[in-house]
Amino acid sequence: NAGVTQTPKFRILKIGQSMTLQCTQDMNHNYMYWYRQDPGMGLKLIYYSVGAGITDKGEVPNGYNVSRSTTEDFPLRLELAAPSQTSVYFCASSYSMRGSGGELFFGEGSRLTVL
């Protein structure tokens, strides 16, 4: 039972490069989320998805794109990387958005540095 798996765990990008952070979950959760965590801060929601084919913006979506073609996978794409995107990225999933099953389960995080 792997839970939420993110790859890569570490990555260094040059300004202007693009990359995709992969996220997959094996818990058959409908809801998936991407957060970023800056040093000394809490997490901020980038994008979320309520099911395959449905995504929506969170609090800080600029500079990112997502897709949800399957229940299991929710990749996050960074286009034209900027130093402001240096952060730790967390993917999470939940069975529902609230109530029983609303608990979030997180991946181990992906540390991205843009130089």
Partner 1 sequence: GIQVEQSPPDLILQEGANSTLRCNFSDSVNNLQWFHQNPWGQLINLFYIPSGTKQNGRLSATTVATERYSLLYISSSQTTDSGVYFCAVERDYGGSQGNLIFGKGTKLSVKP
Interface positions with partner 1 (CB under 8 A): 31, 33, 40-45, 48, 50, 56, 58-59, 88, 90, 92, 94, 97-98, 102-106, 108-109
Closer Cβ to partner 1, 14 or 42, answer by number: 42
Closer Cβ to partner 1, 48 or 64, answer by number: 48
Q: CA–CA separation, 41 vs 67, rounded Å?
A: 26
Closer Cβ to partner 1, 13 or 47, answer by number: 47
Beta bridge partners of 111: 10, 88
Measure CA of the first residue to CA of the last residue in the chain; give whole Å: 36
63 DSSP assignment: T
